[in-house]
């Protein structure tokens, strides 16, 4: 790899970003930065503060008001991917990036249009598993507060917490929409982002749930294990994978693609940054990649790159369509900002934001009530690989 840079869930960069700089004092809001806070805005903030102090019924935490200013300022961008994280949320985010955190052991994804959050993975013997959570459950509330439409990262940060403490979740399950409340006792969770096995016909199978800091090493070990089994082809399953680190997905693609461009980005000034694979590694196996409408960002970089190089057949449904890059900025006070800073393009120059990656072989998942474990999409992906084995 010639470049390293984080994408969406990347490590904090240490860059201090100037935000709305105000402080709360007993006499009202004190203006610090006149370049950001206009006189009219300052006047209105002072009016709001006075009204709150003199008429608001409940107790007021001034720190919460100040945090609300920062959150509201970033929300004003009307960009669903740009988010301000307070200290508690930032701490939880750091933990999730490390590959080990205190939580319940469940993976979740969010539908862009409805805001509905769905459980996509439950780790075996995890607190979530023991509490009775199931794959496919729709998360309705956390600690009694509804979460539909809320930022997924913030919802996840609420679910995480100190080891030994308990969190209450309410989910909606099945076609009958039963509302079920469970209590999960948090524990230390080691993220398992990669699973693998050998399917009939000596076809290797690797599922990647997200691209975190631990994923590259887990993928490498999984691939080596499968190669020792003398696999004849490979299926990579990226269904419901929401994305993650640009560095990680590029490192994995570097072990698959020939020498050349993996992906490139363009910022607001048109400045281009390229991420390339070297010639040290290349996977020469018939391969298919499974995707669906919840395969996003880094997953789409993976699918787009192998599709452009014709290294794999994309099977499933059109992907999410997230073609923008976020960086995490450390604000030096325990908080951070996730901000959209660029668009990305596939090796052939495709920008898929709002469009997604179209599969080479379109297959919609069909649930089989007689055989719930049946997976018609996976069956098709395997058959595609088998046809390409020489």
> Active-site residues: which are they?
297, 308, 322
Name the nearest CA neighbour of 151 among 89, 73, 244.
89
Return d(Cα 312, Cα 310) in angstroms, integer. 5
Residues 253 and 201 sit within 8 Å (Cβ to Cβ): no
Return d(Cα 327, Cα 98) in angstroms, integer. 17
CA distances to 119, 183, 294 from 320, in Å: 17, 32, 5
CA distances to 32, 41, 50, 71 from 26, in Å: 15, 18, 10, 22
Residues 155 and 140 sit within 8 Å (Cβ to Cβ): no
- Helix or strand (DSSP H, E) at 102: strand 100-103
Residue 343: Cβ within 10 Å count: 16
DSSP symbols for 191-241: ---EEEEEETTTEEEEEES-B-TTHHHHHHHHHHHHHHTT-SEEEEE-TT-
Residue 321: Cβ within 10 Å count: 17
Residues 208 and 196 sit within 8 Å (Cβ to Cβ): no
Residues 128 and 113 sit within 8 Å (Cβ to Cβ): no
Paired residues of 265 in beta bridges: 273, 344
Return d(Cα 245, Cα 202) in angstroms, integer. 31
Return d(Cα 302, Cα 296) in angstroms, integer. 10
SS3 77: coil
């Amino acid at each position: 790899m010639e470049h390293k840079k984080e994408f969406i869930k990347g490590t904090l960069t240490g860059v201090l970003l100037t935000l709305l700089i105000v402080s709360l004092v007993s006499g009202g809001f004190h203006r610090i930065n006149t370049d950001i806070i206009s006189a009219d805005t300052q006047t209105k903030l002072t009016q709001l503060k006075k009204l709150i102090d003199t008429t608001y019924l409940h107790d007021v935490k001034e720190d919460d008001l100040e945090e609300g200013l920062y959150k509201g300022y970033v929300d004003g961008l009307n960009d669903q991917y740009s988010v301000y994280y307070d200290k508690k949320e930032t701490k939880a985010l750091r933990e999730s990036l490390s590959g080990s955190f205190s939580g319940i052991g469940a993976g979740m994804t969010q539908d862009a249009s409805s805001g509905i959050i769905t459980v996509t993975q439950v780790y075996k013997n995890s607190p979530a598993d023991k509490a009775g959570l199931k794959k496919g459950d729709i998360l309705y509330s956390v600690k009694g507060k509804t979460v539909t439409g809320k930022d997924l990262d913030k919802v996840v940060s609420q679910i995480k917490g100190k080891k030994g403490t308990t969190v209450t979740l309410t989910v909606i399950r099945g076609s009958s929409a039963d509302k079920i409340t469970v209590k999960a006792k948090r524990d230390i969770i080691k993220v398992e982002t990669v699973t693998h096995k050998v399917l009939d016909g000596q076809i290797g199978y690797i599922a990647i749930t997200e691209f975190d800091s631990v994923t590259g090493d887990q993928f490498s070990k999984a691939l080596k294990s499968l190669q020792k089994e003398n696999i004849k082809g490979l299926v990579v399953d990226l269904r419901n994978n929401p994305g993650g680190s640009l560095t990680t997905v590029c490192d994995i693609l570097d072990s698959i693609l020939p020498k050349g461009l993996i992906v490139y980005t363009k910022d607001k000034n048109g400045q281009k940054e390229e991420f390339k694979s070297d010639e040290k590694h290349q996977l020469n196996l018939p391969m298919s990649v499974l995707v669906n409408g919840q395969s996003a960002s880094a997953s789409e970089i993976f699918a787009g790159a192998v599709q452009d190089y014709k290294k794999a057949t994309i099977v499933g449904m059109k992907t999410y369509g997230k073609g923008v890059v976020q960086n995490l900025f450390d604000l030096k006070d325990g908080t951070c900002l996730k901000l959209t800073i660029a668009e990305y393009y596939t090796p052939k120059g495709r920008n898929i934001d709002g469009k997604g990656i179209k599969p080479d072989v379109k297959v919609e998942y069909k649930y089989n009530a007689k055989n719930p474990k049946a997976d018609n999409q996976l069956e098709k992906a395997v058959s595609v690989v088998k046809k390409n084995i020489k």
